[in-house]
Amino acid sequence: MKGLIERAASDLINSKRAIALTGAGISTESGIPDFRGPKGIWTTDKEAEAKAYERYELFLRDPKSYWEEMLGEKGTHGAFYNEVRKAEPNPGHYALAELEKLGIVKCVITQNIDGLHPKAGSKNVIEYHGSVHKLRCPSCGSRCGFEEVSLEKLPPYCKCGGVMKYDVVHFKEPIPFDVMNEAEKEALECDLMLICGTSAVVYPFASLPRAAKLGRRTSGTIIEINAEPTPLTREGISDYLIQGKTGEVLPQVVEAVRRWRLNRD
């Protein structure tokens, strides 16, 4: 592992435009379960997974019932979101924020709805699956915080007259145009992609590493940090996998980057 951490540090230092992609694995050390790991939410609760696949249709069909379920009056999902809101960043999140401060990582594209990257100090964060801290109007695309709307009467409405929903992107829901575009642009322009804590099986997010590898003239370096190999590892999309916990590996990578810089300067 030590050799791979040194290699990652040298690749990062020699990169011109490195970005990071993250998934639920980077937040498990903050106490938020992932989805498909051994203790994952979908792995351990098939009923919750089935309900998650119905959520977007419920919003389209009956937004009032959708909100009642999401606010935990009828279902359990509200309770899960409340837990997510209380979570704090861990050393993995802080390490990526540090790499941004060092001018190396230009952007974090995350599947996580927990808001822990901005909370850890990362500035340029694309929340590809939305945020549990925001609402969004699918009609005009505008987003706002929960403190800006009244949930006395459900469903809440946008100024444009559209019905608001959680900013979180549910299964079968299209990825909002703005984040989809920004993410694709970053994936095609980066020369290094650091992929942390994702099983890389959910699309269209999982197409971003393939776009970075196959979608342009010069392929960038793709590094995975994950507890287990993924399809990206098996298909050779990533150049190498550092198998371990993001909260333990990423701080070591930052430390190595600092050492390299010191020796270089």
Secondary structure class of 235 (helix, strand, coil): coil
Q: Does 160 bind Zn ion (CB under 5 A)?
A: yes
**Buried-state track 226-236, b at ≥16 Cβ within 10 A, e below 16:** bbeebebbeee
Span of 9-17, 57-65, 239-247, 251-259 interacting with ligand APR by CB under 6 A: 239-247
Q: How far is the CB of 219 from Zn ion (least distance, A)?
A: 40
Residue placing its CB nearer to Zn ion in the complex, 97 or 164: 164
CA atoms within 13 A on the CB side of 200: 26
| Alpha-carbon gap, residue 195 to 85, rounded angstroms | 24
Q: How far is the CB of 243 from ligand APR (least distance, A)?
A: 8
CA atoms within 13 A on the CB side of 190: 32
Active-site pick, 77, 93, 117, 129: 129
| Alpha-carbon gap, residue 38 to 264, rounded angstroms | 42
Residue 133: active-site member: no
Residue placing its CB nearer to Zn ion in the complex, 158 or 257: 158
Residue tagged 């390299």 (tokens)? 260
Phi, psi of 105 (to 5 degrees): -90, 120
Residue placing its CB nearer to ligand APR in the complex, 29 or 189: 29
Span of 2-10, 23-31, 81-89, 234-242 interacting with ligand APR by CB under 6 A: 23-31
Are the C-beta atoms of 146 and 166 separated by less than 8 Å? no
Residue tagged 């590996």 (tokens)? 249
The one of ligand APR, Zn ion, none whose footprint includes residue 140, by CB under 5 to 8 A per kind, is Zn ion
The one of Zn ion, ligand APR, none whose footprint includes residue 91, by CB under 5 to 8 A per kind, is none
Q: How far is the CB of 103 from ligand APR (least distance, A)?
A: 25
Measured in whole angstroms, how far is the alpha carbon of residue 139 from the centre of its chain?
24
Binding site for Zn ion (CB under 5 A): 137, 139-140, 158, 160, 162
| Residues classed as catalytic | 129
Binding site for ligand APR (CB under 6 A): 23-25, 28-29, 34-37, 40, 111, 129, 197-199, 202, 226-228, 245-247
